[in-house]
């Protein structure tokens, strides 16, 4: 079968979702998971935004080696040079040059005519080509661009060196029939189109991003751009997990394949949700909590007799095992290691020991430990940053009436134990005030969210917070059966990320 290139822009367009800001550690963590997922191209950011963004994209380029690492740039020299500065250590680099081409954009945003835009596009591609061989060009708002001008622009940029030309439905305006017709017309009217890969980048303003992307594949496009969980500007981009599973499930219709390990989809979705703090709706296809749940008696009866009566996909194909692990406090390391491998994790000896010890602690508190619990424990360990500070002890007194009071003990980088107590408006507020007293690291708590990993009153709770220090945001996460403890762990995790970034910045200076 033909292969469709999967281009992930979660760390660039997805980051433009309100509240989805990612720091360098977050991008590296997502990049590593996207590599496990098997995406072909990772658009890691927009380096011209800031030096911090250059550094964040550079870290992904240096450490995520299998996929092509891409950076976005406007068709101006400074942007293109910044993109290359971030990408130059990548195993495989791509510069993605974009420029508005519709009449409405040219008139109201750029105040330039078609000839000027043509020259900017060609010169931008040529400058990018001087840095690396792999160059993508996007005529922004292509679906509202004069078709004849679009054909001329694509031909000129391919002649200038573009190896991929992307047709973006920037404002989600097209319908599937229109978009398929446009892609077919590109193949028919651009003489050099066979020299480039035709890509599509669809937005979801009218809820048609996935449908438009698939219509483009039918018309011959062989790269699809999108985001995990459908993140992105405004209503988001095409949801990559949906595109991928449609192409897999309906290979009979589309006749194409991808390089994706679909068993990593659920894990990738959960990671992106955890890092961004944007919850996936329960009825979201493929990765929503209800995507493979059946409540109707008729459906349940059918599933029990034959799964395919009401499931067109095997839950295991997207990474859902649905099993319960009966590993208790007496379970051995061998059985635990076997289960961790079954879930798809490869841990080093030190990582395994930490996760195993966390499991033993949890098994003493919960009667049943599920796969989801184990995934949360592993994720906690795999996302650990340099532990400058460690939570040693926490005690909280609260009630009504009463004044919430917390005492906290931390271990510092030089192995000293420090402690403090504070009162607050609630138990979490008291804990955070006590920690702030101990560390004296200026920051502002911007966001706090809590969710249950599994069902029941003894479930693991996961807390995600965001703190701001200066102009940078740091995400912290913590899990525990005690939500107050999880909150303290999340705050310490965020502080450690802040300290780790400041150390790297000091070294680079």
Q: Which two tokens stand for residue 184?
A: 């077919």
pTM for the whole thing?
A: 0.84
Same domain, 369 and 252: no
First-last CA distance in the chain:
50
Residue 17: closest CA among 168, 236, 170? 236
Q: Please enumerate in sequence order all residues whose Cβ is within 8 A of that of 433, keeping only pairs 6 or more positions apart, or say none.
A: 406, 422, 423, 424
- Which among 355, 382, 409 is the end of a domain? 382
Q: So what's the pLDDT on residue 382?
A: 64
Q: Helix axis angle, 371-382 relative to 333-342, nearest 10°? A: 90
Cα(452)–Cα(479) distance, integer angstroms: 9
pLDDT in tens, the chain (509 residues): 799 999 999 999 999 998 787 888 899 999 999 999 999 999 999 999 999 899 999 999 999 999 999 999 999 999 999 999 999 999 999 999 999 999 999 999 999 999 999 999 999 999 999 999 999 999 999 999 999 999 999 999 999 999 999 999 999 999 999 999 999 999 999 999 999 999 999 999 999 999 999 999 999 999 999 999 999 999 999 999 999 999 999 999 999 999 999 999 999 999 999 888 888 998 999 999 889 887 677 887 787 788 888 899 999 999 886 554 456 666 678 778 877 776 767 788 888 888 888 888 888 877 667 777 787 788 776 665 567 899 999 999 998 888 999 999 999 988 999 999 999 999 999 999 999 999 989 999 988 988 887 666 667 888 988 898 887 788 888 888 899 999 999 999 899 888 887 877 776 56
CATH value at residue 243:
3.20.20.70
The residue with tokens 């996007």 is 138
Note whether residue 155 is domain-resident. Answer: yes
Domain count along the chain = 3
- Which among 244, 276, 308 is the end of a domain? 276
Same domain, 252 and 124: yes
Q: How far is CA 341 from the centre of its chain?
A: 24
CB 156 within 8 A of CB 122: yes
Q: So what's the pLDDT on residue 491?
A: 94
Note whether residue 283 is domain-resident. Answer: no
Same domain, 142 and 104: yes
Same domain, 258 and 368: no
Cα(313)–Cα(246) distance, integer angstroms: 10
Note whether residue 302 is domain-resident. Answer: no
CB 476 within 8 A of CB 365: no
Note whether residue 52 is domain-resident. Answer: yes
**Partners of residue 203 on adjacent β-strands:** 237
Phi, psi of 351 (to 5 degrees): -65, -45
Same domain, 396 and 251: no
Domain limits for position 327: 321-382
CATH value at residue 472:
3.30.160.270
Same domain, 141 and 218: yes
Q: At 466, is the secondary structure helix, strand, or coil?
A: strand
Q: At 392, is the secondary structure helix, strand, or coil?
A: strand
- Which among 249, 276, 303 is the end of a domain? 276
Per the rule left: phi > 0, alpha: psi between -120 and 50, beta: everything else, 246 is alpha
Same domain, 212 and 184: yes
Same domain, 92 and 239: yes
Same domain, 481 and 412: yes
Same domain, 260 and 347: no
Note whether residue 437 is domain-resident. Answer: yes
The sign one gets for the Cα dihedral 346, 348, 351, 356 is positive
Cα(302)–Cα(126) distance, integer angstroms: 59
User: In the chain, what's the furthest Cα-to-Cα distance?
Assistant: 78
Same domain, 191 and 336: no
Cα(478)–Cα(462) distance, integer angstroms: 6
Note whether residue 78 is domain-resident. Answer: yes
15, 67, 201 from 174: Cα distances, Å: 24, 30, 12
The residue with tokens 């590993």 is 327
Q: Please enumerate in sequence order all residues whose Cβ is within 8 A of that of 348, keeping only pairs 6 or more positions apart, or say none.
A: none
Q: Which two tokens stand for residue 427?
A: 């138990």
Note whether residue 205 is domain-resident. Answer: yes
Note whether residue 140 is domain-resident. Answer: yes
Q: Please enumerate in sequence order all residues whose Cβ is within 8 A of that of 425, keeping only pairs 6 or more positions apart, or say none.
A: 404
Read off the DSSP letter of residue 281.
P
Residue 4: CA count within 13 A, CB half-sphere: 31
Residue 454: closest CA among 375, 360, 359, 378? 375
Same domain, 378 and 406: no
């Amino acid at each position: 079968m033909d292969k469709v290139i999967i281009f992930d822009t979660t760390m660039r367009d997805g980051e433009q979702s309100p509240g989805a800001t990612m720091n360098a550690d977050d991008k590296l963590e997502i990049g590593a998971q996207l590599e496990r997922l098997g995406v072909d191209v990772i658009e890691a950011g927009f380096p011209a935004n800031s030096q911090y963004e250059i550094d964040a994209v550079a870290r992904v380029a240096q450490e995520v080696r299998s996929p092509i690492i891409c950076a976005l740039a406007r068709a101006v020299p400074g942007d293109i040079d910044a993109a290359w500065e971030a990408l130059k250590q990548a195993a495989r680099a791509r510069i993605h040059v974009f420029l508005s081409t519709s009449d409405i954009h040219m008139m109201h945003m750029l105040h330039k005519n078609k000839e000027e835009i043509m020259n900017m596009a060609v010169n931008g591609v040529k400058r990018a080509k001087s840095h690396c061989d792999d160059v993508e060009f996007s005529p922004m708002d292509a679906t509202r661009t004069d078709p004849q001008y679009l054909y001329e622009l694509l031909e000129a940029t391919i002649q200038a060196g573009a190896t991929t030309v992307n047709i973006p439905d920037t404002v989600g305006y097209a319908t599937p029939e229109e978009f398929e017709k446009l892609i077919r017309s590109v193949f028919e009217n651009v003489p050099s189109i066979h020299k480039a890969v035709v890509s599509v980048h669809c937005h979801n303003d009218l809820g048609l991003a996935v449908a438009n992307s698939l219509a483009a594949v039918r018309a011959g496009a062989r790269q699809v751009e999108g985001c995990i969980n459908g993140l992105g500007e405004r209503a988001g981009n095409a949801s990559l997990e949906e595109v991928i599973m449609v192409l897999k499930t309906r290979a009979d219709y589309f006749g194409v394949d991808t390089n994706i390990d679909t068993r990593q989809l659920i894990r990738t979705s959960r990671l992106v949700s955890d890092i961004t703090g944007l919850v996936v709706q329960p009825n979201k296809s493929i990765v929503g909590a209800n995507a493979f749940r059946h409540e109707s008696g008729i459906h349940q009866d059918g599933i029990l007799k034959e799964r395919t009566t009401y499931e067109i996909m095997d839950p295991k194909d997207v990474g859902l095992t649905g099993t319960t692990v009966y590993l208790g406090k007496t379970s051995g390391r061998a059985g635990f290691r076997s289960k961790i491998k079954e879930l798809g994790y490869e841990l080093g000896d030190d990582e395994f020991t930490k996760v195993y010890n966390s499991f033993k602690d949890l098994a003493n508190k919960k009667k049943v430990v599920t796969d989801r619990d184990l995934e949360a424990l592993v994720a906690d360990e795999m996302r650990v940053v340099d532990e400058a500070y460690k939570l040693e002890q926490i005690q909280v007194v609260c009630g009504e009436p009463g004044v919430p009071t917390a005492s906290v003990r931390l271990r510092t980088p030089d192995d000293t134990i420090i402690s403090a107590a504070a009162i607050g408006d609630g138990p979490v507020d008291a804990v955070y005030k006590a920690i702030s007293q101990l560390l004296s690291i200026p920051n502002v708590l911007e966001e706090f969210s809590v969710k249950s990993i599994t069902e029941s009153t003894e479930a693991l709770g996961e807390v995600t917070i965001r703190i701001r220090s200066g102009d940078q945001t740091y995400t912290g996460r913590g899990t525990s059966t005690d939500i107050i403890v999880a909150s303290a762990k999340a705050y310490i995790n965020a502080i450690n990320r802040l300290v780790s970034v400041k150390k790297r910045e000091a070294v680079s200076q």
